[in-house]
Chain A
Amino acid sequence: MTNLCTSTFSLKNPSSIETYLSQDGYSSWKKIISGEIPKSEVITIIKESGLRGKGGAGFSTGLKWSFINSSDQQKYLVCNSDESEPGTCKDRDILRYNPHAVIEGMLIASYAIGASVGYNYLRGEFIGDQWVVFNKAVKEAYEYNFIGKNILKSNLCIEIVPLIGAGAYIVGEETAMLESIEGKRGMPRIKPPFPAVQGLYGKPTIINNTETLATVPYIIKNGSEWYKNLGVNDSDGVKMFCMSGHLNKPSVIEAPLGVLFSKLLDECKGVLDDKKLKAVIPGGSSVPVVKGEDIMETPMDYESLMKIGTMLGSGGIIVMDESTCMVSVLERISRFYYAESCGQCTPCREGTGWLYKTLVKIRSGNGDQSDLDLLNKVATQIEGHCICALGDAAAMPVISFLKHFWTEFEYYVDKKQSMVI
């Protein structure tokens, strides 16, 4: 519906530098290098554009950049391409169809914060496709001298370095990613100190999501007002929405923030086989589920989703029709968090196991009413008691599933079978 990060997707050889250049690619970077846009302006433009982190947290990107410890020491930029929030499949497309927008965004961000090295950390499972494409793109950008020593005959030197992970959801948490780059197990750090003060190897570091960084060149090119105005009503800018689950045409759609859910549903040709919509998880599996009828006419932006008790998160929208057994879905979600808890904090390590085992018990027909109370109790005891957000992410689905579909859970423990079968 709106093409920024997705602007090359339907072109021939979308990932090649020639294609990107034909779309005016690297023009923002050239403007910055030539001094046409002063360094001090860059952060201001990004701040005023209203760009918010598109990985899940939704924090102001410009503000984040402005937190960088400006003292005269080595600084790093890290691009978070460890896309693994269940229901999210946008960065994988940007990396393989528009990798140069990521590179240009990384260069601009590195320049703005004074970093001489930018690492892009791709999840291990991207090794067969995105990893190959992104490495090739970096090589091309070096050949054109957009990256490297004395960029375009200036005094500026910035290295862009692709890195690969090896399978761990938790590494998507920014401080766990820093641990992973340092060659350790991906266990989140206690904040503060925040990475902008003490990050990679103890040096000031800014970590941004792939989609966020890939948006940056388009904002620099067209201005902050232009980006702001792309959003509907009070929302600023655009977002990639990953529509999956029970849909006739599951799709990744870049659309204005504030677009109605019903509009996105139309783009996907409606609910699969025209069944009734039952529930939606609008921002990746870590955010609360909502009932279908409550989201239908909701604008997809940070504030509106907050009003209906959920979050925009990563933009991973999982659609469930009337035939969905909510007990089974919650069991699957809980299995995931149990498997992916890094084990560092006791409430999360033990609690995710409790949640999963209790749900297995219910699903196998051995649960009773007290197990439902136990789920709620364990979830609330995890929430807010851990170093990172994984514990909260495991708790929120449980609390929201029970809240919205209590009768269905009660039916299951009572009749020892699913209400929808």
Chain B
Amino acid sequence: MTDSKHIFSENMSKEIDLIRSKFPKDKSKSAIIESLLIIQHDNNGFLNDELITSLANYLSIQKIDVYEVATFYSMFNLKPIGKNIISVCTNISCMLRNSDGIVSHIEKRLKIKIGESTKDNKFYLKDEMECLAACNGAPMMQVNHINYENLTTEKVDKILDEIAND
């Protein structure tokens, strides 16, 4: 693999190699999901055509194979988003414990609608469809994939204040 075909740092290449080694020799495609997650994390939370092409070249697979994965799974973003990802679980258990009130509160506080990022790009409020499997801690949210449970609007303010000041 020549360097011109991908733009990954030496470190990133090593990490992808490690992921690749989890699977049988002729099963490169299996490495797509985990590789995309670390590539996306390294690129401010989103993927672009250059990165997707790079991974396809690096794994010697078709670009469309990578696109199929990148467009199917909800944790991949193909457009720039705010730095801190907020996902409020609004599935039934959380809905019964006022998760909709939590979402409205965050929308009001950050002056955005669900699915949008703040103007200063500090926060992205994901339109989360899935149950986040913390039902006994409802209502809950994840910020950058860390759980915050038994939320109240006061608690949410405190969490977002801390992150904003970070």
Picked from B75, B134, B142, the residue with its CB within 8 Å of the CB of A89 is B134
Q: Does A4 contact B (CB under 8 A)?
A: no
Least CB distance from B131 to A in Å reads 4
B28 contact set on A, CB distance < 8 A = 183
A92 vs B28: C-alpha distance when bound (angstroms): 29
Q: Are A83 and B133 in contact (CB under 8 A)?
A: yes
Interface centre among B22, B27, B76, B92 (most CB of A within 10 A): B92
A85 vs B22: C-alpha distance when bound (angstroms): 27
A408 vs B138: C-alpha distance when bound (angstroms): 26
B9-17, B30-38, B116-124, B152-160 - interface stretch: B30-38
Interface residue count on the B side (C-beta < 8 Å): 43
Q: Does B129 contact A (CB under 8 A)?
A: yes
Q: Are A242 and B136 in contact (CB under 8 A)?
A: yes
Q: A89-B135, A339-B129 are contacts. A332–B73 as well, Cβ < 8 Å?
A: no
A252 contact set on B, CB distance < 8 A = 136
Picked from A119, A165, A182, A250, the residue with its CB within 8 Å of the CB of B136 is A250
Q: Are A324 and B30 in contact (CB under 8 A)?
A: no
Q: Are A163 and B22 in contact (CB under 8 A)?
A: yes
Q: Are B76 and A181 in contact (CB under 8 A)?
A: no
B29 contact set on A, CB distance < 8 A = 182-184
Q: Are A184 and B69 in contact (CB under 8 A)?
A: yes
Q: Are A84 and B130 in contact (CB under 8 A)?
A: yes
Interface residue count on the A side (C-beta < 8 Å): 55
B57 contact set on A, CB distance < 8 A = none
Least CB distance from A325 to B in Å reads 10
Q: Are B69 and A185 in contact (CB under 8 A)?
A: yes
Least CB distance from A268 to B in Å reads 9
Q: Are B135 and A244 in contact (CB under 8 A)?
A: yes
A292 contact set on B, CB distance < 8 A = none
Q: Are A88 and B37 in contact (CB under 8 A)?
A: no
A326 vs B146: C-alpha distance when bound (angstroms): 31
Q: Are A245 and B97 in contact (CB under 8 A)?
A: yes
Q: Are B134 and A92 in contact (CB under 8 A)?
A: yes
Least CB distance from A4 to B in Å reads 19
Least CB distance from B70 to A in Å reads 9
Q: A125-B75, A166-B73, A166-B76 are contacts. A332–B95 as well, Cβ < 8 Å?
A: yes
A127 vs B33: C-alpha distance when bound (angstroms): 13
Q: Mark B29-50, 1 if CB is under 8 A from A, else 0.
A: 1111110110000000000000
Q: Does A355 contact B (CB under 8 A)?
A: no
A128 contact set on B, CB distance < 8 A = 142, 144-147
B104 contact set on A, CB distance < 8 A = none
Least CB distance from A139 to B in Å reads 13
B92 contact set on A, CB distance < 8 A = 86-87, 245, 281, 285, 318, 329, 332-333
The 4 closest A-B pairs by CB, nearest first: A183-B29, A128-B145, A167-B74, A244-B135
Interface residues of B (CB under 8 A from A): 22, 24, 27-34, 36-37, 65, 68-69, 72-76, 87, 90-93, 95-97, 129-138, 142, 144-147
Q: Given A89-B135, A184-B65, A329-B95, 4 other A-B contacts at CB below 8 A? A: A89-B137, A125-B130, A167-B74, A281-B92
* CB<8 Å pairs between A and B, sample of 17: A89-B133, A89-B135, A128-B142, A129-B145, A166-B74, A166-B76, A167-B74, A184-B29, A185-B68, A244-B135, A244-B136, A250-B138, A252-B136, A285-B91, A324-B96, A332-B91, A340-B129
